[in-house]
Structure 1
């Protein structure tokens, strides 16, 4: 099976994104962020929490990189 972009998607819904458990043909599949299938609500929720923690760490790191250093003192100009 080829997608519109020519990418092979033949294994798209065969296994859970988190735990790699095979997905049954007659069972519920829980989706998250587009094309990520999960075998259960628990696996899906765990991935959501992982992504939220990663995003929080990224925002904190970005904030600490963009802080400007302010030097205090006296400047004498002649």
Structure 2
């Protein structure tokens, strides 16, 4: 069974309902069958499809985190190599009697 909503007056305004097909494999979602949701309104036909999407999202997030982490490290390195007087640190030994 297909679900449609109407958003205007022309025939081109009929659009499939968001629960019509799996977001990953595009398999039609059956009437009166289980639908596995993820992130609020993303439907999947099975636990496996939903888990595959979750894994892809986590992988993308880790990759993005690694990129931002490495760019922050290189920014810190360039700051450390900057020889401006305000960032000069003197080291030495202090003896207290």
Structure label with greater radius of gyration: 2
Q: Which has the higher strand share?
A: 2
Question: Aligned equivalents of 2:15 and 2:49: distance in 1?
Answer: 22
- Report which structure shows greater RCO (CA 8 Å, sep ≥6): 1
Return the TM-score normalized by structure 1. Answer: 0.77
One of 25, 33, 44 as aligned partner of 2:31: 25
Matching residue of 1:55: 61
Return the TM-score normalized by structure 2. Answer: 0.63
Runs of 4+ more than 6 Å apart:
none
**Alpha-carbon offset, residue 71 of structure 1:** 2.2
Gaps of 5+ in 2: 7-13, 86-97
Gaps of 5+ in 1: 3-7
Indicate whether 1:41 and 2:47 are aligned.
yes
Q: Which has the higher helix share?
A: 2
One of 60, 81, 95 as aligned partner of 1:71: 81
* 1:14-69 C-alpha deviation (Å, 9 max, x unpaired): 00000000000111000000100000000000001001100000100010111111
